[in-house]
Amino acid sequence: MTNPVTISARGVVKAFGQGPGAVRALDDVSLDIRKGEFFTLLGPSGCGKTTLLRLIAGFEMPSGGTILLDGADITDLPPNKRPVNTVFQSYALFPHLTVAENVAFGLQMLGKPAGEVRATTERMLALVKLEALASRKTAQLSGGQQQRVALARALAPQPKVLLLDEPLSALDLKLRKEMQVELKRLQHETGITFVFVTHDQEEALTMSDRIAVMNAGKIQQVGTAKEVYTQPKNRFVASFIGETNFLTGTARAGALELPTGDTIPVEGLKPVDGGKPVTVTVRPEQVRIGKPGVEGAKAKVAALVYFGTDTHCHLHLRDGTEVVVRLQSPASGDSGLAEGDEVSLGFAPGAAQVVED
Amino acid sequence: MAKSGADRGFQVARVPGFAITAIVVFVALYLPIFTLVAYSFNASTSLAVWGGFSLDWYARAWDNDQVKDATLRSLIIASFAAVISTTVATMAALGTTRRRDFKGQTFIYVMINQPLMVPEIVTAVALMIVFGLVKVWLTSIGMGGLTTGLGYLILAHAAFCIPFAYLPIRARLEGMDLTLETAAADLYATPWQTFRRVTLPLLAPGIIAGAMLAFVISLDDVVITEFVKSGGQDTLPTYMLGQMRRQLTPEINAVSTMLLGLTVVLLTAFFLLTRKKT
């Protein structure tokens, strides 16, 4: 993706409170979001993702740094002067207005002629399939319908960037899945840049072009879903997205030497200066189990948990370290392993990643 | 399974004597009012002896120029007082709720609600003295023409009506989602447009309720009016008080009943506006 940058955050700091008691919600955050991207800010609650979104919207002013929109500095612009619209977590629909009036609100405030307001409102209601409910009050709508009104209202003024603050968190699972598809379709049809905030890593993986993983006010890693899943930069990213195993040992040429003395082949691993221990992460589905004696670490099957499509095999290394392996269940459902079996543990080629702590 | 009373916890309605207490309280509250209303239809000139049904006293009250004059004055003062106090109360409510908690907040609440706490007679005497001083000063600078007029009564009524208008407006504001105003700003509304198109319409039931409460409170006031009014500035309540000192006829009952009717209508509207939507 080589589209031009739309939103650019440069060294953004946001501190709440003053003096030594101040909390840094955002600590020197720099980020580029490209035009037309579905960009996700992912992290646990309190990581600063919503604060960053509110700074882009203009609801809060940063304590330091700048925010650029298409190259222009918008850091000090009030929200009503930014060509950016928000879908709020609570939807924040105007209860005294009808569905159509809600959708028309932004266009009217922009001073668009009445004919254009009507036409665009109709088009937006059609886009979210709510034409039939145009004259209803918003309180009469279901959660999913309110969600659609909020989307139509925010999309109607054709913003350069649409900000979505955990918009699906209030919906039940089935509706959430539907809206995920719906959001992707809307983004595709409108071509507008979406900045999506979520704490749900699965939602982030399935929907995003790129993901910024955040923790403790800092950006941990930016990349595509595949990049952050298969090449996590640090321990936080590896453990926050999906399930994973961590193994600490000494790096040898092409192998990891565990504290037990066993070695596991790791392609391309190089010794570290001073022999400092390194941490390697490997996803449960990328762990390979071999017959005893095959090259790898000696391990014992501690538990087998059958999940239907998968079987989770809990292995114990000789020093008691647990490694979880996800095996695809064969047709018979029998993994061919039994508790207490001695096995040899290895990694799929290219699956093990050295991570920073 | 039968349960003993103790298992259901304490219930006021089960305390011995509850029913009789309730009846006594209701009788004490409403018997005088029922009597007043009933005797307004009394054909006799006596307040105490029933002489048959009649609408005479209503006809007399309608024909009484003093009653009409006082009623009109009451309505004018109450209207102005309601509008002024509601405007001030709306601004005060916006100022005290649309921000993070601040130091001295409680002090501000006490200041705004002062008329609820200071004895009315004290306020009345204080107003009389201050207005007296103002009038002396106005006369001394040759503006004696401004020493009469309804302005003083309107100002006094507007002041003591502020807390009554403030409370329902503030209650409404506190129940309002602040995100709505953020959303309006996000959708290109200027601060004024946000107020005009979002805050004010949502606040309207609170404002109307506040205005009606202020209107009723102003309509009913005796003490402050009695001290502040100039000669010939009787409002309906002070006129009635004056009548009581001379001759007592069921005309007073008729006037009271009409005032009661107006108040009941306004207060019913107030409760309909402020009740929570289900």
Q: Is A124's pLDDT higher than 70?
A: yes
Chain A residues within an 8 Å CB radius of B187: 80, 85, 105-106, 109, 153-154, 157
Closest CA to A59 of A137, A149, A165: A165
Residue of B nearest to A55 (CA): B186
In the listed set A238, A268, A285, which residue is the last one of a domain according to the structure?
A238
Q: Which of A112-121, B205-214, B239-248 has the lowest mean pLDDT?
A: B239-248
Instruction: Report which of residues A198 and A295 the model is more confident about.
Output: A198
Using pLDDT thresholds of 50, 70 and 90, give the confidence band for residue A275. Answer: confident
pLDDT in tens, A181-219: 889 998 998 899 999 999 999 899 999 999 999 999 999
Check CB contact of B203 with chain A, cutoff 8 Å: no
Instruction: Report which of residues B47 and B97 the model is more confident about.
Output: B97
Answer yes or no: do B183 and A59 touch at CB < 8 A. Answer: no
Question: Residue A34 is part of a domain; what is its CATH number?
Answer: 3.40.50.300
Chain A residues within an 8 Å CB radius of B189: 80, 105, 109
Residue of A nearest to B193 (CA): A109
Answer yes or no: do A94 and B190 touch at CB < 8 A. Answer: no
Q: Is B278's pLDDT higher than 70?
A: no
Closest CA to A156 of A90, A112, A98, A95: A112
pLDDT in tens, B10-33: 787 788 888 899 999 999 999 989
Check CB contact of B196 with chain A, cutoff 8 Å: no
Are A199 and A217 contained in the same domain?
yes
Answer yes or no: do A85 and B186 touch at CB < 8 A. Answer: yes
Identify the pLDDT of residue A70: 93
Give contacts of B 92-111 with A, CB under 8 A.
Answer: none
Residue B145: Cβ-neighbour burial (10 angstroms; 0-12, 13-18, 19+): exposed
Determine which of B188, B196, B207, B277 to mutate to test the interface with A (most A C-beta atoms within 10 Å): B188
How much is the average pLDDT of A92-97? 93
Chain A residues within an 8 Å CB radius of B185: 58-59, 78-80
Using pLDDT thresholds of 50, 70 and 90, give the confidence band for residue A326. Answer: very high
Question: Residue A316 is part of a domain; what is its CATH number?
Answer: 2.40.50.140
pLDDT in tens, B37-58: 888 888 887 777 788 888 888 8
Q: CA B168 to CA A240: how far, in whole Å?
A: 48
How much is the average pLDDT of A159-180? 89
Are A200 and A288 contained in the same domain?
no
Give contacts of A 136-175 with B, CB under 8 A.
Answer: 153-154, 157
**Domain around A166:** 5-238
Write the residue in B186, B197, B198 that is nearest to A79 by C-beta.
Answer: B186
Q: Is A113's pLDDT higher than 90?
A: yes
Using pLDDT thresholds of 50, 70 and 90, give the confidence band for residue B81. Answer: very high
Per cent of chain B over pLDDT 70 is 95
Instruction: Report which of residues B70 and B11 the model is more confident about.
Output: B70
pLDDT in tens, A3-19: 899 999 999 999 988 77
Write the residue in B183, B189, B201 that is nearest to A96 by C-beta.
Answer: B201
Give the number of residues written for chain A: 357
pLDDT in tens, B111-166: 888 888 889 899 899 999 999 999 889 888 888 777 778 889 999 999 999 999 99
Residue of A nearest to B178 (CA): A92
Identify the pLDDT of residue B271: 81
Are A211 and A262 contained in the same domain?
no
Check CB contact of B178 with chain A, cutoff 8 Å: no
Residue A280: Cβ-neighbour burial (10 angstroms; 0-12, 13-18, 19+): buried
Closest CA to B253 of B22, B5, B42, B68: B42
Q: Is A349's pLDDT higher than 60?
A: yes
Residue B43, classed as helix, strand or coil, is coil
Q: Is B109's pLDDT higher than 90?
A: no
Q: Is the dihedral of CA A329, A330, A331, A337 positive or negative?
A: negative
Identify the pLDDT of residue B8: 63
Q: Is A1's pLDDT higher than 60?
A: no
Domains held by chain A: number: 2
Q: How far is B91 from chain A (nearest CA, A)?
A: 21
How much is the average pLDDT of A149-168? 93
Identify the pLDDT of residue A115: 94
Mean pLDDT of chain B: 86
Identify the pLDDT of residue B7: 58
Please report, for chain B, the start and end positions of each structural domain, with discontinuous segments joined by +: 13-54, 66-274
Residue B246, classed as helix, strand or coil, is coil
The reply to whether ipTM tops 0.95 is no
Residues contacting B207, CB < 8 A, separation 6+ = B86, B90, B169, B172, B200
Q: What is the DSSP string of B202-239?
A: HHHHHHHHHHHHHHHHHHH--HHHHHH--TT---HHHH
Residue of B nearest to A154 (CA): B187
Q: Is A107's pLDDT higher than 90?
A: yes
Chain B residues within an 8 Å CB radius of A79: 182, 185-186
For residue B196, count other CB atoms closer than 10 A to its CB.
13
Check CB contact of B179 with chain A, cutoff 8 Å: yes
Chain B residues within an 8 Å CB radius of A94: 180, 183-184, 198
* C-alpha B78: how far from chain center: 9
Write the residue in B183, B188, B197 that is nearest to A88 by C-beta.
Answer: B183
Q: How far is B44 from chain A (nearest CA, A)?
A: 55
- pTM for the model stands at 0.80
Give contacts of A 87-126 with B, CB under 8 A.
Answer: 88, 90, 92, 94-96, 105-106, 109-110
Identify the pLDDT of residue B180: 93
In the listed set A189, A210, A238, which residue is the last one of a domain according to the structure?
A238
Answer yes or no: do A80 and B183 touch at CB < 8 A. Answer: no
Are A117 and A147 contained in the same domain?
yes
In the listed set A203, A219, A238, which residue is the last one of a domain according to the structure?
A238
Are A14 and A144 contained in the same domain?
yes
Query: Taking the domain B66-274, which CATH number applies?
Result: 1.10.3720.10
How much is the average pLDDT of B156-182? 90
Strand A38-42 with A193-198, pairing: parallel
pLDDT in tens, A231-245: 999 999 999 998 999
Chain B residues within an 8 Å CB radius of A81: 188
Are A228 and A270 contained in the same domain?
no
Closest CA to A295 of A323, A264, A256, A337: A264
Mean pLDDT of chain A: 90
Chain A residues within an 8 Å CB radius of B201: 96
Residue of A nearest to B182 (CA): A59
Say which residue the tokens 């208008």 belong to. Answer: B165
Q: At what angle do helices A143-155 and A114-127 cross, to 10 degrees?
A: 140
Are A204 and A164 contained in the same domain?
yes
Are A24 and A116 contained in the same domain?
yes
